[in-house]
Amino acid sequence: MTTKKSYKPQEIVRPDASEKDSTAGPPGNTLGLFSAAGLPSVDAMREYAVDAWQRSILYADVMRQRGNQYQAHLTEEVPHVLDFPSEVVMFGRDLPRPVNYWLVRIIPPYDKPTDHMKRPFVVIDPRAGHGPGIGGFKVDSEIGVVIGAGHPCYFIGFLPDPVPGQTIEDVMHAEAAFLEKVIALHPCREGKPAVIGNCQAGWQILMTAAMRPELFGPIIVAGAPLSYWAGWRGRNPMRYAAGLLGGSWLTAMTSDLGAGRFDGAWLVQNFENLNPANTLWSKQHHVYTNIDDEAPRYLGFEKYWGGYVYLNDVEMQYIVDNLFVGNRLATTELLTSDGVRIDLRNIRSPIVVFCSYGDNITPPPQALGWITDLYDDDKDVLTHDQTIIYATHESVGHLGIFVSGAVSRKEHHKFATNIDLIDVLPAGIYRATIAENPQKDAVLSTESYELSVQREGIASVREIVQPDPESDRRFAAVAQVSKINLGLYRQFVQPWVRQAVTPQTAYWVQTVHPLRLSYEWWSDRNPLAPVIANTAKKVREQRTPIAGDNPFLQIQGAWSDAIVKTLNLWQDVRDDAYEKVFEWTYSSPWVQALTGEAADDESSRRRPSVSPEHRAFVAQEIAGLRNAAAEGGAVEAGIRAVFYIHRFCSSIDERRANLTLELHQPDCNLGFNMDSFRDIVRRQANIIRIDADAAIAALPQLLAREEPARIREVARTLERLRSLGPLSTIEESSLTHMLDVFNVAATSQEAVLS
């Protein structure tokens, strides 16, 4: 039986005095591991040597399995890493504008059947170098928590090779078609499909939602970059890459060398380069040190990590020119081929932005910067009726945002189980926090953790993003330099490259990519593989790992730590040099003048304008809300009362939301119309926001239309607010006021009926 080893430099476990062995060495010796002189004993050296040899054989065998797994993955007709059974619903290649995407339904396990009263979820993985399936490659995943919460679940994936000529816009139309299909399959379920977009899929699905807002329920974007110039000084060096390489001409040449296809392995290579310590040492050393139980996890992830895919040259060039370099998404500068402007302000669904301070691919400024790019103040957000919820993690890395089991069990689980709360939030900016449930309620919340949303302002987002006009001018200069260099490449170099490259040449260029070679060179195709496989089998049969306190194992750990620190130091020096060279180059008055970026310009990132038609629409809506203060019945009155009671409290948790849900639907056995409930909640919130006094003064008119029993039922539900935690003095006073209003209305109705 094997046990997991661990090393702790400077912490060697020693027995108590009562366990000393006079024959084992000096006082404090551990099972004969030290000689009389206090040095590691020959026995310790021999044990470590045997163990290290065994681990080396087992490690080589794991690498052999890794290569076999890579080869087998390449032969699959539809390569993916989904760990859930599924059935194909729709192929993108059958659409009028064919693409290499497909839609599948996730088949839930027997013990976790789908609740047909719940809205469907659609999970979309990034097409950013790797194949699909990472959103559901294990039980503790996004798909896992959706299935666990009883929701119907769908997944949008893709094939390794794009359809010739497909564009980003074609993919957007395909995603819209997939959502139309999901909606058609669930006509009786209340609420539009909730959509989860990871990384690249996040910004792409938001572009689709801006084009077809009527198809979407709540949207969760995890680790998705949307404001590509943003970042903190001294960190996030990836955003400097285009400027240091002279723009997107290299992207065009890479696609040309691939005969019209861009190899996604280059995108993965960029990711690997960010953390040389992990890439060159830590990841493999961790497997080697913990070889007895780390192999299954490692191989499971490597199946995804080595599943490289391709993009069309036009797709990749669009992404780099318009997003990474041009940063045109958050300023509404993108147009579809038929002239539709892609404006994220058109999205009517709540948008949940989940990002992490430990993410060096999509740091919080890039995930949240689009908000400060689009909106000047909180009033601007409200007048566009947009709901934005952001949640930040303190430490998890980029992949962990949508891969980590701990994150799935906590953050993604709470997002999935509270998707209806998220859907009905009134317009505004909110910060979501997940903490231990202070007061479990068998009816309203039995979870160990509780989701709460705190109303914030755009100032809180701006504090995270830290917009920098000077930095924007540098990146604007990069965008202009990129256009110049790309034009020169296309005019003078591209024809020669395309003439020289054949499909066979492109194949060999892709085959010898360093990342592909790391999987290709060692598998059962290697003549030495059978020797290693047989030896590894014998080692496992007699394997006995050494204790974690072996001094040579401790030395190995200390040596590994020294290597990691050295590589981290190199990374810091390299990243600092990148930043300094970038700033020196693009802060130059000559460069900025030649690119049209004058130093005295107020900003190179001007917010999109608001049309006169929009201002007229807002004025009309406000007038309509004032007139609607006297419209409705007990449900509207109860929800309005809740907003009035908590008008000075900016926090909403799931227990209060569930209680509000009871106001609308006291009988859970009846059908529930989520769209209707959402409209009522958002409308009553706006009525209170415009004129709270007039809204409360109109309550008797609303209650006069109801039966006394229904009025008292709503009042009893309101009274339960006291059981959800202590109320402030103002909240308690407002609750007493509301209960008096409801009591008077019920008494008056009883008098009329008698």
**CA distance linking residue 687 with residue 693, whole number of Å:** 10
Task: State pLDDT tens for residues 9-32.
Answer: 333 333 333 333 433 344 444 445
Superfamily per CATH, domain 86-227+329-435: Alpha/Beta hydrolase fold, catalytic domain (3.40.50.1820)
Question: 3-class DSSP state for residue 603?
Answer: coil
Give the CA distances from residue 391 to residues 93, 348, 351, in Å, rounded to whole numbers and listed in that order. 36, 19, 11
Return the closest-CA partner of residue 156 out of 180, 189, 188, 191.
180
Cβ neighbours for 679, distance < 8 A, ≥ 6 positions apart: none
Query: Which has more pLDDT, 381 or 29?
Result: 381
**CA distance linking residue 390 with residue 376, whole number of Å:** 18
CB 263 within 8 A of CB 510: yes
Q: What is the pTM of this model?
A: 0.89
Task: State pLDDT tens for residues 50-109.
Answer: 999 999 999 999 999 999 999 999 999 899 999 999 999 999 999 999 999 999 999 999
Highest-scoring range by mean pLDDT, 213-227, 629-643, 664-678, 740-754: 213-227
Neighbours of 712 (CB within 10 A): 19
**CA distance linking residue 531 with residue 540, whole number of Å:** 14
Give the CA distances from residue 16 to residues 8, 28, 31, 201, in Å, rounded to whole numbers and listed in that order. 19, 8, 12, 57
User: What's the average model confidence in pLDDT over 192-207?
Assistant: 96
Cβ neighbours for 752, distance < 8 A, ≥ 6 positions apart: none
Kindly give the interhelix angle for 729-753 and 708-719, rounded to the nearest 10 degrees.
Answer: 170
Domain boundaries, the chain: 86-227+329-435, 247-257+268-308+485-594, 612-753
At CA 643, angle to CA 695 and CA 693, rounded to 5? 25
Question: What mean pLDDT, rounded, does the chain reach?
Answer: 89
Lowest mean pLDDT among 184-198, 388-402, 685-699: 184-198
The pLDDT of residue 601 is above 60: no
Q: What is the pLDDT of residue 603?
A: 56
**CA distance linking residue 477 with residue 472, whole number of Å:** 9
Question: 3-class DSSP state for residue 734?
Answer: helix
Start-to-end Cα distance in the chain: 81
* H-only helix segments in 119-246: 142-148, 168-185, 200-211, 241-245
